[in-house]
Amino acid sequence: MQGYVKESADRLRQLVDQVGSTLAGLGTASTATAQIHVDDETPGRLQLTGAFGWGSTHVRTVVTDLNALTVSQKFSINADVPGVPRQLSGTLPFAAGSTGIALTWTANHQQQLVFNRTNAQIAYRYKNSGVWQPDQHLALYPAGQSFLSVAQGGTGGSTPALARAGLQLGTAATANMGTDPGNAMPVGAFGLGTRANAHTVTMNRWTTDFSIIQPSTQYKPVNYGTLINIGYPGSGSLGSQLWMGVSPGGVIGFRSGDYTDAAFNIIYHTGNTTRAADGTLKAI
């Protein structure tokens, strides 16, 4: 009997030694409490596989408010609720069944990525100092393309010509601003649309434009005035000019033909003539 007791005691001691060394190697997780379910947010609990959508097909469905997510997780959208991003069209929400990822640093600093279920659109937004910023969209190339369509905010083409066609741009899109033939004229070119017209150096000029006559203008008909000049096509000196004086005012004149010898003519009007009793006009 004594031998049996001793043998039992030895085996118990051996078992204690084995189990004791094993128990001594256990970490703090051995005494932690596991989640009750995969959406259990109790701090300090062991997460189950599938917790907050990770490691399984389970996702946390957003029912009422995307802005109310407070922990990092995977989620899905089943309705147009607050915080659901708009598609690039600007009016339609991301479709039901779209999924997303929420990442939380603090309650006031978070980020969200949402993947639209029905087309290749991804929306991103972040919360800074407690304020959600507007959605931004990631650019995705359609399958087999190296460019974005116009609907996705791109040009719709892989070459400059295709891009212009996709954006429905006209020939002005490739024109340069300036006053050379074929240029797109800026406001003020040749005196159009501005009060700061160029001063005319000489009356013998053949550029079609609007300009100013001043005392230093060569061959001037008045000291101060405005000028409409129309050059006749070709390389000669033909053209037409209509000018009006501002000092003295009330004077209007013209000339046409070869500027090298064409004289300036004064136009008579009600301001510089009188009408006689017989109806004839007389210069004042």
Of 142, 90, 83, 89, the C-alpha closest to 113 is 83
- In 3-state terms the chain splits into helix, strand, coil percentages (rounded to 5) of 20, 30, 50
Of 227, 228, 233, 237, the C-alpha closest to 181 is 233
Of 85, 78, 37, 84, the C-alpha closest to 61 is 78
Of 143, 127, 126, 125, the C-alpha closest to 135 is 125
pLDDT at 218: 94
Distance CA 271, CA 257 (A): 27
Inter-residue contact 98 to 116 (CB < 8 Å): yes
Pairing of the two strands 131-132 and 136-138 = unpaired
Which percentage of the chain shows pLDDT scores above 70? 80
Q: What would the mean pLDDT of 123-144 be, rounded to a whole number?
A: 84
Task: For residue 64, give the 3-state DSSP assignment.
Answer: coil
How would you classify residue 240: left for phi > 0, otherwise alpha for psi between -120 and 50, otherwise beta? beta
Distance CA 76, CA 97 (A): 6
Q: For tokens 């999924």, name the residue.
A: 99
Q: What would the mean pLDDT of 113-137 be, rounded to a whole number?
A: 89
| Single-letter residue type at 122 | I
DSSP 12: H
Q: For tokens 């507007």, name the residue.
A: 134
Tell me: pLDDT of 52 over 80. no
pLDDT in tens, 174-192: 888 888 888 888 888 888 8
Range scoring the smallest mean pLDDT among 25-29, 46-50, 222-226: 25-29
pLDDT in tens, 203-248: 998 888 999 999 999 999 999 999 999 999 988 899 999 999 998 8
Half-sphere exposure of 225 (CA within 13 A, CB side): 22
Task: For residue 17, give the 3-state DSSP assignment.
Answer: helix
Pairing of the two strands 122-128 and 60-62 = unpaired
Q: Is the peptide bond before 181 cis (omega within 30 degrees of 0)?
A: no
Distances (CA, A) of 247 to 15, 213, 242, 244: 123, 10, 16, 9
Q: What would the mean pLDDT of 77-86 be, rounded to a whole number?
A: 85
Inter-residue contact 77 to 59 (CB < 8 Å): no
Pairing of the two strands 60-62 and 73-77 = parallel
Distances (CA, A) of 50 to 37, 85, 221: 9, 26, 94
